[in-house]
Structure 1
Amino acid sequence: MPNRHYRKLAFTLALALIQISKQALDWDAQEDECSHFLVRQEWRSLSQAHKAEYIAAVKCTQSLPARSGFEAAQTRFDDFQAVHINVADEIHIVGHFLPWHRRFIKIHETTLREECGYRGAIPYWDWTLDADSLDSISESPIFDPVHGFGGDGVPGTYILPNDPDGTSELFPETFVGCVQDGPFASHKLHIGPGKLSTDHCLVRGLNDTYKGFLTSEAVAQTMEQPTFELFRVQLEGGGSNPYPAQHGSGHLIVGGDMGNLFSSPGDPLFHLHHANLDRLWWQWQEKDLPTRFLDISGRLHANSPRLTQVTLNYRLDFHTLAPPMSVRDTMDIQKPPFCYAYV
């Protein structure tokens, strides 16, 4: 009789443990799902009120005190530029280029919403709409002085500082002059150009030379690539692709800090450009989600041997902006902490 009692008790306890385990699994599943989605839209599809709200949120970050701990950073806006400069050599021409920037843009989006009261998602800049046009890139609505980000730099209004150690990759032809119209005409940057720390205006140098790399035809060729590494190289440039491709061209067509490898987040257009690159990556992933959720490859460091490949377990560093995150956890924008969609 006692043995039967103990067997019954053991069986009951086992059932209880199974139920507890099931509840834990159910809870994990709930935590792993998005309760709602932000919808990222192309800039020109936003209402004028929505555009104004986004611009106001960006300007808000330019007035909040820095938190990153980087000496040159004075504002929250500076924090993102400082972190990018610090890790720029580690996140370009590498396999984790797209995963790192996907998370970086999301951190910025969250900052706008949680610290500046922005209610929407980061918009993206679909530059194919401008590159396919016969008009100059300067005619794009993105550069509108009232409902956009201001226009080109004015020649003769900016002098490029000396780069003592020559590591900032400063090209004088891209730093034409200060932007003197639009919402950021009076904004003073504290970081850049390049790795330097100088107080300066928002500098641009719009250049139609790069339009050919940003056309819908060029993007279609990128989207046809069968593997992640081929797609990434075609999109970013570098490696076997000697051309600036969509990534580099989107930066260089704007010029100024935006055209610099290190200090590019100093131009508010940085986030819209990279949101568009992220959109293209997601569209490429959607063609075969089960496979492409796991498709990651490419060099771990720009100058490392090809045998040193990035993996899904590689940890991405964001310094004080956010905790590290594995590449694996960036692969699905329909899971937390991302929870957004593109239209």
Structure 2
Amino acid sequence: MGLGDGIRRNIAKVSKEERDLYIDAVKQLNQIYYSPTGSRTDFPAGHVSYWFKQDEIHQSSHIHGCPAFLPWHREMCNRYEALLRTIHPELSLHYWDWNLDPSAMPDGQGGVINIFDADFMGNADGTVNGGSVGEPLLSAGFYLVNPSDPNPGDGKFRDNRSPVVINKPNPNDPSTWNYPPHYNPADPPKTLTRNKQAGPPPVGVPGSRWAKDADFFNANTWEEFRDLMYGYEQGTSQNSAHGEAHGYIGGNLRNPHISFRDPFVFLLHSNVDRLWAMWQLQPGHAERLDPTQVYNTEGNTTGTGDIESDAFWGILSPLEPWAGFTAQTTATGIIENLLPIRPWFAPENEENQMGNYKTSMDVSVVTPPSYDTAPHSN
């Protein structure tokens, strides 16, 4: 089968029809709004598009270099795939196989495909227009038309500062809080750029810090697997496959706080999740599908720190922002300076809906999606 079978595939090998449906769904998500009756002048902002909400979600939580990194990003990818399916139900969140140069990937039928063209993901050449992504995302409002203007859109744009620190005149009263200049999630980013390195990624090259796929599959423990993926970020080694993938594409992708303004990031993170799924599904390892065993010695970790500096999200931490602004407790470890986000905050309060309060232990998070390189698991 293919289109509509629920399997995430190598994006180079899906049909042109499906790629067209995929980018159409991405663009349409920027025309549908959370809290549609709200206003950009609200705090938290209302009338934020489904697409711009992805950046707001990612910045608000900043879950990197910690045990919850893989499960939290799986939850985000799963929710994004569900959004794509609200536009075209037959779609799946496909992946970029990072062994391949995305500008020259075999399509499985004797041809070669460049996904960085004006029909799909847009420009990734840093020498063209300063690396601006261009079409098809420019005219769809994913960033401003004239990024050279010092004050475009009457000042209604987001800049590239990171991390975002919101203004809190009264730290104990969210009704007094507001956004700093040029960070309102309802506004488009001023720029969106890439600067892809030439040739294929240096996967497995000595000194690259980028492990081969086989190294991931052969990891004996959760700790070994996640160390290969982001050991440098967690401070356990120099391994950094996830970080190197972001840096290979460059531009927005190089900055973890603003990387989710680029739709390509979901193809990258779908591949991160695919490798984790394949590790989980290695024969003879049923414990990797057991929420009480999969995370091994990190299964009882709680949260500490502050998203404005160095948050450490544990496996027992509620998955934010969906669990809600007040979900942090002493039992799970309180992360400070969360950004309240609608609709998982007043006035919609969707954090109270069934299924929104969960941790990395939830079976819906531990159970991997289906990929073309792994058997169905649902």
Residues 1:203 and 1:102: Cα distance change in structure 2 (over 3 Å): same
- 1:64 partnered with 2:32: yes
2:52 partner amino acid: D
Cα 1:263–1:201 change in 2 (3 A) is: same
Native 8 Å contact 2:6 2:90 kept in 1: no
What is the deviation of 1:253? Answer: 1.2
Q: Counterpart of 2:48 in 1: which secondary structure?
A: coil
Question: Does residue 332 of structure 1 match 2:322?
Answer: no
Q: Is the contact made by 2:55 and 2:258 (CA closer than 8 Å) also made in structure 1?
A: yes
Is the Cα–Cα contact under 8 Å of residues 196 and 248 in structure 2 kept in the other structure?
A: yes
1:204 alignment partner in structure 2: 194
Distance in 2, Cα, partners of 1:222 & 1:270: 20
Separation in 2, partners of 1:134, 1:316: 35
- Counterparts of 2:113 and 2:255 in 1: how far apart (Å)? 21
Inter-partner Cα distance in structure 2 for 1:208 and 1:156? 14
Contact 2:253/2:260 (CA < 8 Å) preserved in 1?
Answer: yes
**Structure 1 residue 263 corresponds to structure 2 residue 258:** yes
- The aligned residue for residue 229 of structure 2 is 235
Distance 1:92 1:205, change over 3 A: same
CA deviations over 1:37-85 (Å, ceiling 9, x no partner) = 7211110111101000000000001122244974397311011110100
Q: CA RMSD in A?
A: 3.4
Which residue number in structure 2 is paired with residue 86 of structure 1?
60
Change in Cα spacing, 1:78 to 1:325, as seen in structure 2 (3 Å) is same
Q: Please show how residues 240-319 of structure 1 align to structure 2 within 5 Å.
A: 240-243=236-239, 245-287=240-282, 288-293=284-289, 294-296=293-295, 297-298=297-298, 300=302, 310-311=314-315, 313-319=316-322
Change (3 A) 1:87 1:285: same
Query: Paired residue for 2:115?
Result: 142
**Matched residue of 2:67: which SS?**
coil
In the alignment, the residues of structure 1 paired with residue 259 and residue 305 of structure 2 have an alpha-carbon distance, to the nearest angstrom, of: 22
Residue aligned with 2:249, SS? coil
Is the 1:213–1:249 contact (alpha carbons within 8 Å) kept by the matching residues of 2?
A: no
Which runs of structure 2 are paired with 1:68-147 in the superposition (5 Å)?
A: 70-71=44-45, 74-88=48-62, 91-114=63-86, 116-130=87-101, 141-146=114-119
Q: Tell me the alpha carbon deviations over residues 268-298 of structure 1, each in whole angstroms, 9 at most, x when there is no partner.
A: 0111111111010010011144221222144
Instruction: Write the distance in 2 (CA, Å) between the matches of 1:112 and 1:324.
Output: 22
1:40 maps to 2:12: no
Q: Tell me: CA distance 1:145–1:300, structure 2 relative to 1, closer, same or farther (3 Å).
A: farther
| Structure 2: stretches of 5+ with no match in the other structure | 37-42, 107-111, 144-156, 165-181, 307-311, 323-342, 345-350, 374-378
- Per the alignment, residue 177 of structure 1 pairs with 131
Residues 84-107 of structure 1 show CA distances to partners (whole Å, capped at 9, x for unaligned) of: 00101xx11111111001110010
Number of the residue aligned with 1:22: none
Larger Rg: 1
Structure 1 unaligned residues grouped into runs of 5+: 1-35, 158-175, 334-338
Q: Equivalents in 1 of 2:275, 2:198: separation in Å?
A: 22
Is 1:151 the equivalent of 2:123?
yes
**Aligned residue pairs, count:** 271
CA deviations over 1:195-214 (Å, ceiling 9, x no partner)? 36373132111124992247
Q: Secondary structure at 2:361's aligned position in 1?
A: helix
> Matches of 1:247 and 1:217 in 2, distance apart?
10
Amino acid at match of 1:233: D
Which amino acid is the alignment partner of residue 261 of structure 1? Answer: P
Give the direction of change, closer, same or farther, for the CA distance of 1:309–1:143 in structure 2 (3 Å limit). Answer: closer
Structure 1: which amino acid aligns with 2:228? Q
Q: Distance in 2 between matches of 1:217 and 1:100?
A: 22
The amino acid that maps onto 1:199 is: P
Contact 1:37 1:341 in 2 (8 A): no
Q: Which amino acid aligns with 1:47?
A: S
CA-to-aligned-CA distance 1:276-332 (integer Å, 9 cap, x gap): 11010010011144221222144655879xxx9944x54222334671322122111
In 2, the alpha carbon distance for the partners of 1:77 and 1:260 equals 18
Task: Find the aligned partners of 2:101 and 2:28 in 1 and give their Cα distance.
Answer: 29
Q: Are the equivalent residues in 2 in contact too, given 1:315–1:325 (CA < 8 A)?
A: yes
Give the 3 Å change call, closer, same or farther, for CA 73–128 of structure 1 in structure 2.
Answer: farther
Structure showing the higher strand proportion among its residues: 1
Letter in 1 for 2:196: L
Query: Is 1:225 the equivalent of 2:219?
Result: yes
- Cα distance between partner residues in 2 of 1:236 and 1:53: 32
2:7 is paired with a residue whose SS is: strand
